[in-house]
Amino acid sequence: MSEYVLELKGITKIFPGVKALNQVRFQLRPGEVHALMGENGAGKSTFIKVITGVHRPEEGEIFLEGRKVEFKGPRDAQAAGIAAVYQHPTSYPDLTVTENIFMNHEIKKRGMIQWKEMNREAQKYLDQLDADFKSTAEMGTLSVAQQQMVEIAKAVSTHAKIVILDEPTAALTANESEKLYRIVDKLKDEGVSIIFISHRFEDMYRLATRVTVFRDSQYIGTYEVDKITNADLIRQMVGREISDLYPKPEVKFGKELFRIERFTRTGYFKDVSISVKAGEIVGLTGLVGAGRTEVMEAVCGITGFDEGRVFLEGKEMRIKNPTDAGAAGIILLPEDRQKTGLIMSWGLGRNVTLPILDKFIHKGLIDEKEERSLAKQLLEDVDTKAVTVFDPASSLSGGNQQKVVVAKALAQDNMKVVIMDEPTKGVDVGAKAEIYQIMGELAQKGYAIIMISSEMPEIIGMCDRVYVMCSGRVTGELPRAELAQEKILEYAMEKSAGKEATA
């Protein structure tokens, strides 16, 4: 038996106009967790697709346990024992967990699907993973973390020898991630080899023994995790030093700009009071499902609320829909850029000017020249790597899409309060630093900023003050000087840790 369970040599994949992979290699030892890191667009996803047989490389060889193989399609890779779990579960929401797990390899007897047996088997896999839901549950009713567990169960059910996890923790909170870590450990103990893609350094340190770095479609190196420093690793990934990931400028706060009092929406959040001063960056954190996004969506009029008052510059406001919020200068940068932030099929220019079309209207008609030149200006302000204002939003990477969303917000020059919902989710290190930079500049210009985030380092790195939510209530408020991971987590899990303590 060979030293490596999977080995790829000299893989080159060419898409029309781009070399997505350039002579990369990779070696996976049996039973190891191997992290694969690199910025967005470094070629990680393409590489995974080569392993799973989705793409066929132009050059290079793949060896499975020392034997040369050639995958003609995903089926071949699956048959060879390779399973992939993607960042966004690729499941069927209207089908049950069992159906999802056994999709394409149903248990059949004489052509009839054996439901009872399948449900039992599925439940067995779920129990192995300590899942807290039944195999008969409908997929769509599960949380992202639970859905991911189903995907992992699916991988286990195919008796995969190699499991690829593509950014599995991106949508998870701290303790959900911990649970995932335990599952990965368990798989490892059973002799499964794991390839783990992530932007989070915590994941890598917690799980992986070795890490391979890609940059600009090329193989940079493979390192033992406990022998490489964080700074060195970032340098390998980015190709340059990032001296300060959190460029937090010193800002003198102005007067209080925005305040909500006793915000309540039955079943979602209760008695939430938050205030922000001009130039201040306020963090809103907590576990996913704590009600952070829901509060801010109510503030912006996307959903309603039952009780509570909103004050802008000391005056009480009535906000009934997003149009009101926009007119008042409260701008939300939504978490899901593809679904709610941008119109992906439109050019960047049109996306940016969508909320402010009135500006270019002369005698009822839109002045497209003026529109274009302003859009161009705004896109340059945020330093987007776009070629023209006509490029569709779908042609940009995640980090650049986020910058376009920022440009769209900046277009609204009555903007006073900026609410950023998970602004760096799924964005690579380099683009993250740029987004923090922009955030700092906005604070300097005197905007009030509310950042919803689950990522501890950015909350601690960027915020002047942090509200922590748990089960729909604000359980703690911390000034910058007192920000510490343990303290935030303590507040974030206050309710679940035990009601007596808080009562």
Partner 1 sequence: MEKKSIWKRIADSREASLVIVLILLCAAVSIRNPAFMTLSNLEEILKNNAVTMILALGMLCVLLIGGIDISIASTLAFTGMSVGLLFKYGYMGSTLLGFLLALVIGAVCGFIIGLVIGKGKVTPIIATMGFMYIYRGLAYVIGNSQWAGADALGDFKNFALGKYLGFGVINNVIMVTVICYIIFFFVMKWTKFGRNIYAVGSNEEAAAISGINVSRVKIAVYTIMGLLSGLCGALATTVYASAQPDMQTGKEMDVIAACVIGGVSMSGGKGSVGGALLGSLILAVIAKALPLVGINSLAQNTVKGVLIVVVIILNVITKRVMDKSALERREM
> Is 332 an interacting residue with respect to partner 1 (CB under 8 A)?
yes
- Give the rounded distance of the alpha carbon of 27 from its chain centre: 27
> Is 20 an interacting residue with respect to partner 1 (CB under 8 A)?
yes
Contact segment (CB under 8 A) with partner 1 among 9-17, 218-226, 264-272, 461-469 equals 9-17
> Is 88 an interacting residue with respect to partner 1 (CB under 8 A)?
no
Rg of the Cα trace of the chain? 24
Quick check: 334 and 303 in contact, CB under 8 A?
no
Bridge partner residues of 112 (DSSP): 109
> Is 54 an interacting residue with respect to partner 1 (CB under 8 A)?
no
- CB closer to partner 1, 393 vs 483: 393
- CB closer to partner 1, 92 vs 390: 390
Instruction: List the one residue from 24, 34, 37, 46 that touches partner 1 (CB under 8 A).
Output: 46
Instruction: List the one residue from 225, 327, 456, 497 that touches partner 1 (CB under 8 A).
Output: 327
> Is 355 an interacting residue with respect to partner 1 (CB under 8 A)?
yes
Quick check: 142 and 178 in contact, CB under 8 A?
no
Q: Which of 91, 90, 118 is nearest to 102 (CA)?
A: 118
How far apart CA 186 and CA 457 sit, in angstroms, is: 28
> Is 318 an interacting residue with respect to partner 1 (CB under 8 A)?
no
> Is 380 an interacting residue with respect to partner 1 (CB under 8 A)?
no
Which tokens in the block code for residue 5?
Answer: 């369970």
Instruction: List the one residue from 344, 446, 456, 487 that touches partner 1 (CB under 8 A).
Output: 344
Minimum CB distance to partner 1, residue 270 (Å): 25
Contact segment (CB under 8 A) with partner 1 among 122-130, 223-231, 283-291, 393-401 equals 393-401
Q: At what angle do helices 230-238 and 429-444 cross, to 10 degrees?
A: 100
The site map against partner 1 for 213-252 (x = CB under 8 A) is ----x-----------------------------------
Q: Which long-range contacts (CB under 8 A, 24 or more apart) does 254-257 make?
A: 254/278, 254/279, 254/446, 256/314, 257/312, 257/313, 257/416, 257/417, 257/448
> Is 368 an interacting residue with respect to partner 1 (CB under 8 A)?
yes
Instruction: List the one residue from 60, 289, 392, 446 that touches partner 1 (CB under 8 A).
Output: 392
How far apart CA 88 and CA 368 sit, in angstroms, is: 37
Instruction: List the one residue from 136, 377, 394, 414 that touches partner 1 (CB under 8 A).
Output: 394
Quick check: 274 and 281 in contact, CB under 8 A?
no
Cα angle at 236 between 235 and 239, to 5 degrees? 70
Measured CA to CA in angstroms, residue 148 lies from 76, 157, 166 at distances of 23, 14, 11
How far apart CA 461 and CA 465 sit, in angstroms, is: 11
Minimum CB distance to partner 1, residue 22 (Å): 10
Contact segment (CB under 8 A) with partner 1 among 87-95, 105-113, 165-173, 383-391 equals 383-391
**What b/e sequence results for 112-123 when a residue is b if at least 16 CB atoms lie within 10 Å of its CB, and e otherwise?**
eeeeeebbebbb
Helix (H) or strand (E) holding 375: helix 368-381
Instruction: List the one residue from 107, 242, 366, 497 that touches partner 1 (CB under 8 A).
Output: 366
**What b/e sequence results for 222-231 when a residue is b if at least 16 CB atoms lie within 10 Å of its CB, and e otherwise?**
ebebeebeee
The site map against partner 1 for 24-43 (x = CB under 8 A) is -----------------x-x
Give the count of residues interacting with partner 1 (CB under 8 A). Answer: 49
Minimum CB distance to partner 1, residue 249 (Å): 28
- CB closer to partner 1, 217 vs 453: 217
> Is 414 an interacting residue with respect to partner 1 (CB under 8 A)?
no
- Give the rounded distance of the alpha carbon of 91 from its chain centre: 18
> Is 357 an interacting residue with respect to partner 1 (CB under 8 A)?
yes
Q: Which of 422, 391, 417 is nearest to 404 (CA)?
A: 391
> Is 345 an interacting residue with respect to partner 1 (CB under 8 A)?
yes
Minimum CB distance to partner 1, residue 220 (Å): 16
- CB closer to partner 1, 355 vs 423: 355
> Is 70 an interacting residue with respect to partner 1 (CB under 8 A)?
no
How far apart CA 190 and CA 209 sit, in angstroms, is: 16
HSE at residue 376, side-chain half, CA atoms within 13 A, is: 10
Quick check: 298 and 260 in contact, CB under 8 A?
no
Instruction: Catalog residues that contact partner 1 under the rule CB under 8 A.
Output: 15-20, 41, 43, 46, 217, 300, 302, 321-323, 325-327, 332, 334, 339-346, 350, 354-355, 357-358, 361, 364-366, 368, 385, 387-388, 390-392, 394-397, 408
